[in-house]
Amino acid sequence: MKTLKHKDKKIIEENALAFSTIDQTKKPYVVGAACCKVVENKIIITDNFMKSTVKNIKNNSNVAIVAWDKDWNGCQILGKAKYYDSGKWLNFIKSIKENKDMPAKGAIVVSINKIIKSK
């Protein structure tokens, strides 16, 4: 397992990112994700409105994330995702202040396999 550096964690938590899954026809599917946290070297993404993304994760756990800041510092992360609609991770995302007044239906937890620096 690869470990995120502090500056990459900050970029992930303070900026929107591109989150890519694979659909049932093996084509990429990308969404923007704004409420993301790094905990225990895992990336936790809130599912507020991600119907297709959740379906894709349940069929194929391989995902990619690209995160960057306004100066184009960032990274690409390849990993495996798991979806939680109850328990510890759901409780965690419901407690995040950015999710106040949002549905926070589930938590997508990404275990990191590879980190590729962009700059």
CATH of the domain at 99: 2.30.110.10
- Average per-residue pLDDT in the chain? 92
pLDDT at position 2 is 78
Contact 83, 52 (CB under 8 A): no
Decide if 81 contacts 110 (C-beta within 8 A).
yes
In a domain, 78, yes or no: yes
How many independent structural domains does the chain possess? 1
Answer yes or no: is 104 within a domain: yes
Q: What percent of the chain has pLDDT over 90?
A: 79
Quick one: CA torsion of 116, 52, 111, 66, rounded to 10 degrees? 20
Show the domain range for 108.
6-117
Calculate mean pLDDT across residues 38-63: 95
What integer is the mean pLDDT of 69-83?
Answer: 95
Kindly tell me if the per-residue pLDDT of 118 is higher than 70.
no
- Asked if the structure places residue 1 within a domain, the reply is no
- Identify the band that residue 77 occupies on the pLDDT scale cut at 50, 70 and 90: very high
